[in-house]
Amino acid sequence: MALTTLAAVKAALDLTTTGDDARVTALIPQVQRLMEDEIGYLYDSVTGRTEYPLTRESSSVTLDVQPLTLLTSVHVSTDTPRVYDTTTALSLTSDVLWDARLRLLVRIDGGGFPAGPQVARVIYSAGAAAWPAHLERAGIMVIAAMLQKAKTKSYHVSGVNLGEGSITLLTRADVPDEARRIMELERRAYV
């Protein structure tokens, strides 16, 4: 799901004309990607997602999409080629536990997730109906800052051409301090 909508941005920023609609519409997914990178996970809504989380010889792994709503299966395979069947499946009741506070999938059977590519396979459903209000507010702050840059033409012209200028790829430097603090608190809450 999207971080916010054109209507929500226009209402929050008191934009009453359609002059910035294309620019705002193009900024929403860019700001969402920047925020997901800063926070450290995707705030998406998915069902039956298959993921091969990065494993580093530890007792836990993180998943890309949050919050987890249903854990369907977890497999650990060190065979080559990888095998994901009943012989490599972990028990969802006695081998692994989803720690919602830490947002980690944790081995509770004394085992671990060996290091290696595609050693672990997790199938799950995750996501929320909407982004939390405080994160949407932070996103709108970033959009407002980018609109201000567009009006003063104080950014490098590259990227997507939208009439009277272009939108560059967003960087951390484009994020207002208050929005950066909100994202930092969200990242700390789950790391």
How many domains does the chain fold into? 2
Q: Is residue 1 part of a domain?
A: no
111 and 61 together in one domain: yes
Same domain, 25 and 84: no
Domain that holds residue 23: 6-42+130-189
145 and 179: one domain?
yes
What does the pLDDT profile of the chain (191 residues) look like in tens digits? Answer: 899 999 999 999 999 999 999 999 999 999 999 998 888 878 778 899 999 998 889 999 999 888 899 999 999 999 999 999 999 999 999 999 999 888 899 999 999 999 999 999 999 999 887 899 999 999 999 999 999 988 886 654 445 555 555 555 667 788 999 999 999 998 876 55
Please tell me whether residues 104 and 53 are part of one structural domain: yes
Tell me, yes or no, whether 53 and 120 share the same domain: yes
d(CA 175, CA 180): 6
Residue 37 included in any domain: yes
Do 89 and 150 belong to one domain? no
C-alpha angle 70/71/77, rounded to 5°?
A: 160
Of 38, 47, 45, 37, nearest in space to 2 by CA? 45
Which of 100, 126, 152 is a domain's end point?
126
pTM above 0.75, yes or no: no
In the DSSP assignment, the letter for residue 113 is: B
